[in-house]
Amino acid sequence: MVGRVYAATVGAIFAAAAVLFTWNAWRFDWLRGYDAFANDLYATVVGTDFRLPSTAETSVWHTPPLWFALAGELRRLADGAGWEHVQRPGQLLAAAAGLAVCLVAFLLARTLWPERRVLHVVALVLTAASPALVRASAMYHPETLAAALAGAGLLVSVRGLRTRPTLATGAGAGALFGLGALTRAWALPMLCAALLALGLDAWRRGRWGPVVALAAVSAVLVGPWLVNQQVAHGDAFAFNRAAPATSLLERRPTSFYLGPHALHVFDRPVTPAFRNELVPHLYADWWGDWALTWDTPPPPAPGQLLEEGVVGARVRQNVVGIVPTLLALAGLVALTLLAVSRRSLAVGLLPLSAAALGAAYLLFAVRFPSTDGDTIKATYLLAMLPAAAVGAAFVVDSAVPRGRGWSIAVGIGLAVLVAVQLPFLVL
């Protein structure tokens, strides 16, 4: 791909993503996103009283406060300016963070393989056209900001590991991971992965400064929050419900792990089908809108019918998702093999961070089972997206000898992927 075409393509994709995310954030009814009302109560308390909310004031008191502080301040300013929709600046903040996630994926690809421009473009498109990111970018919710900050921490770590980590690498990554963990706890497993990778690098080189800086800066930022949770609620990772008093192995039925109704993702991928079956539930929520909170009326009462076309649109999304999902899985495995084979911690940190987040999420979902499937949401795994997209792009760019013909075929494939999804992605 020649330089001008590359620059124009990348610019056009970022511009299109910016328009899409902004349009959706502007149009999406803020109350349709999950936890929206509770989020607004939290943001109001932080923005007006400058304190953390109590357990009685909002059901999301267990979520770290950074996004709520920002959204609360924006809310206060919007209120002062006489805006009718005072939550909209918070949604636009989520949209901007969604765009930052796209930037992280693109820069990760560029950092690891600077010369492979097709790979950069594929990673960028797969990220920007990922329905879970598009939906989260319109919501009044901290998910995208956490994913952007944790992704940026990952990027700084990878850049350092690719050459030679410095104190600035460690401190910068620590600041980003720390802020990410102050937004959503999902950044913590990614921080642990970075600590492990930088720790192994320090072991090799005998230079411990960067990893100590990473640990120290992130601890300074997120430590007070975790201590507060431990002191106030008896658990640094407290949640808004008590965990059942049974062993972890008994908290979920076998169907949670096996997904026996997985084939229904291709005929009825909406609530209540395969509720609480981990893989199909996550898949249908990532590629479609399992809980029916996007562009439809709320889920109907028992016996009532969904509007015509609602199921069909989601079936189409789930069919479209097969190839990118397969590529993402293959990519994470391929990057793992590559990292082991070439002893590359920079490459290895991507699958390692994805695995850490996946394991942390699995533990959470098992620890806090819910009958309505409330603890299974694709957007909880959003921080995994840049690594998965880069992995998928690596497979696309490596499986077949590179050439002009293949580049054109990949371009057509990406265009089809986006075009088929547009009716769903644009509100």
The phi, psi pair for 343, rounded to 5°, reads: 50, 45
Q: Which is nearer to another protein, 170 or 331 (CB)?
A: 331
CB of 108 to another protein, least distance (A): 16
Residues near 204 by beta carbon (within 8 Å), at least 6 away in sequence: none
CB of 298 to another protein, least distance (A): 14
Proportion of the chain in helix, strand, coil states, percent, rounded to 5: 70, 0, 30
Q: Residue for token digits 């029916």?
A: 292
DSSP result, 63-95: S-SHHHHHHHHHHHHHHHTT-S-TTHHHHHHHH
CB of 104 to another protein, least distance (A): 22
Q: Which is nearer to another protein, 105 or 332 (CB)?
A: 332
CB of 273 to another protein, least distance (A): 10
The residues of the shown chain that bind another protein, judged by CB under 8 A, are 258-263, 279-280, 300-305, 307-308, 325-327, 329-335, 337-338, 341-342, 391, 394-395, 398-401
Query: Could you give the CA distance from residue 338 to residue 157 in angstroms, rounded to a whole number?
Result: 18
Are the C-beta atoms of residues 3 and 116 closer than 8 Å to each other? no
Q: Which is nearer to another protein, 326 or 408 (CB)?
A: 326
CB of 147 to another protein, least distance (A): 23
Query: Could you give the CA distance from residue 294 to residue 316 in angstroms, rounded to a whole number?
Result: 15
Are the C-beta atoms of residues 337 and 165 closer than 8 Å to each other? no
CB of 414 to another protein, least distance (A): 17
Q: Which is nearer to another protein, 56 or 305 (CB)?
A: 305
Q: What distances in angstroms separate CA 155 from CA 147, 293, 346, 386, 387, one per listed residue?
A: 12, 32, 9, 10, 10
Q: Which is nearer to another protein, 140 or 283 (CB)?
A: 283
Query: Could you give the CA distance from residue 183 to residue 165 in angstroms, rounded to a whole number?
Result: 26
Provide the CB-side half-sphere exposure for 92 (13 A, CA). Answer: 11
The token duo for 160 is: 């350092």
Q: Residue for token digits 């893989």?
A: 279
CB of 36 to another protein, least distance (A): 27
Q: Which is nearer to another protein, 233 or 268 (CB)?
A: 268
Q: Which is nearer to another protein, 28 or 394 (CB)?
A: 394
CB of 397 to another protein, least distance (A): 8
Exposure pattern of 314-338 as b/e (b: 16+ CB <10 Å)? bbbbbebbeebbebbebbbebbbeb
Are the C-beta atoms of residues 192 and 218 closer than 8 Å to each other? no
DSSP H or E segment with residue 382: none
Are the C-beta atoms of residues 262 and 274 closer than 8 Å to each other? yes
Are the C-beta atoms of residues 142 and 67 closer than 8 Å to each other? yes
CB of 205 to another protein, least distance (A): 24
CB of 111 to another protein, least distance (A): 16
Q: Which is nearer to another protein, 298 or 302 (CB)?
A: 302
Q: Which is nearer to another protein, 247 or 341 (CB)?
A: 341
CB of 325 to another protein, least distance (A): 8
Are the C-beta atoms of residues 136 and 382 closer than 8 Å to each other? yes
Q: Which is nearer to another protein, 62 or 268 (CB)?
A: 268
Q: Which is nearer to another protein, 171 or 332 (CB)?
A: 332
Which residue in 357, 336, 352, 308 sits closest to 185, CA to CA?
357
